[in-house]
Structure 1
Amino acid sequence: MGLEEYWVAISRGGVLYGAGFFVTRHFVVTSVGCLPDACLGSEVELRTARGLGLRGIVDEIAEDVGLVLVHVVVPPRTDYPTPQADRAVKGDTWRAPYRPGPALPALSG
């Protein structure tokens, strides 16, 4: 699995809201800033780096830490990347390929 395959674009009604990333095969995490008006049970559209469209349902909103957990609803026998666990170490580089709007800077570190 390449680095880009962890990311998903998140949209609603065809409008791109931002991005998230797979934390398990069935869950994506994103920031509250990407889905500011999300409520439990609301549906979102997910698109993987390979272009696969998936359906997502907001499962949990943790306002205190600014995160939203989205349950990935996958049709049977759908092939898509499964995240592999690893450890981050001090000095690892990272970047976020999506952002909520073109006027906002891309995140990296």
Structure 2
Amino acid sequence: MQTCNKLKQNHNQLLRLTREQQLEPGAVLTYFFECYHLKDLRELLWDWLLTALGSDNATYAKGRERSNLIFLYEKLESLLEAAYLMHQHQPSKKRKRKKKG
């Protein structure tokens, strides 16, 4: 399955989110963190990085490519932590229902 669409018209376009998810992106965070814990995500990212850098993969043969991958790893981890915080601080639907009633 191809996960990267290199067509120019799709750059900076939302490719994965449904219309419903675009209207309620917080629901994507909720579902994501129901599937993964922050600890598990850190381990998966680290394993991914070690596999990419520790194998004879031509994609990361040059120092610059390896450096870019490490930079991406750090930014993805920051993004995950920010999303995790947003997810933790969003009010639950149960609390919203109780307040209305």
State the TM-score, normalizing by the size of structure 1. Answer: 0.20
- Say which structure, 1 or 2, has more relative contact order (CA 8 Å, 6+ apart): 2
Query: Between Structure 1 and Structure 2, which shows a larger proportion of helix residues?
Result: 2
Query: Between Structure 1 and Structure 2, which shows a larger proportion of strand residues?
Result: 1
| The structure with more radius of gyration | 2
